[in-house]
Amino acid sequence: MRILAPAVLLAVLTTGCSRPVDLKQALQIIGLTGGYHDAGIVEGRNKLIPTITFRLKKSTGDSLRPLALNVVFKRLPRAGVAAAPGSPAEEDWDEVFVQDVPFEGNQTAPLTITPKAGFTGDPPQSRADILKHSLFQDVRVHVFAKHSSSQWVEIGSYDIPRQVLAQ
């Protein structure tokens, strides 16, 4: 047992001392698409949920395991409506945490991120009509990444286009 303890201690120390990776430089979001997923009828109302799909590509041979993502969905002020003085330009709305992002070589499989929050409209309003409604707010997505014990780093943002995605 005494021989094993120093080996375990050395393994723990060397794992925690790996050189930090600049995720903003090492990761690239590729193949990004987005729109609104038709969630069907929820509590008697048509529901649309913002959705993005993308891959991560790494530009380094370094292992980025464990890699976590926090994908934050924020509502933007309605078109033609100025934000009140002192209020943020973006309003926090929902977020999705991905604990472990696996790579297949130097990129990931497609990652589809869909929050729980969405927009609803009373029937007979169609899903496309929800996107045209005067109270509809556009959504911006911010993608943050974290490797090991590093700090969260924003690696990209994307405005969700007003389109209903094909099923």
Residue 81 has what pLDDT?
A: 62
Going from the C-alpha of 11 to that of each of 8, 16, 56, the distances in angstroms are: 5, 9, 29
pLDDT > 90 fraction of the chain, expressed in percent and rounded: 55
Residue 19 has what pLDDT?
A: 63
Q: What is the pLDDT of the chain when averaged over all its residues?
A: 85
CB count, 10 Å around CB of 133?
12
**85-92: average pLDDT:** 76
Residue 28 has what pLDDT?
A: 95
Give the C-alpha separation, 167 to 165, whole Å.
Answer: 6
Domain boundaries along the sequence of the chain? 25-159
Structural tokens at position 61: 């041979």
Residue 42 has pLDDT above 70, yes or no: yes
Give 104-107 contacts, CB < 8 A, sequence gap 24+: 106/57, 106/58, 106/59, 107/30, 107/55, 107/56, 107/57, 107/58
- The answer regarding whether domain 25-159 maps to CATH 1.10.287 reads no
Residue 84 has pLDDT above 70, yes or no: no
Provide the b/e sequence for 25-43 (b: ≥16 CB within 10 Å): ebbebeeeebbbbbbeeee
User: The pTM is what?
Assistant: 0.82
Higher-pLDDT residue of 54, 136: 54
Residue 137 has pLDDT above 60, yes or no: yes
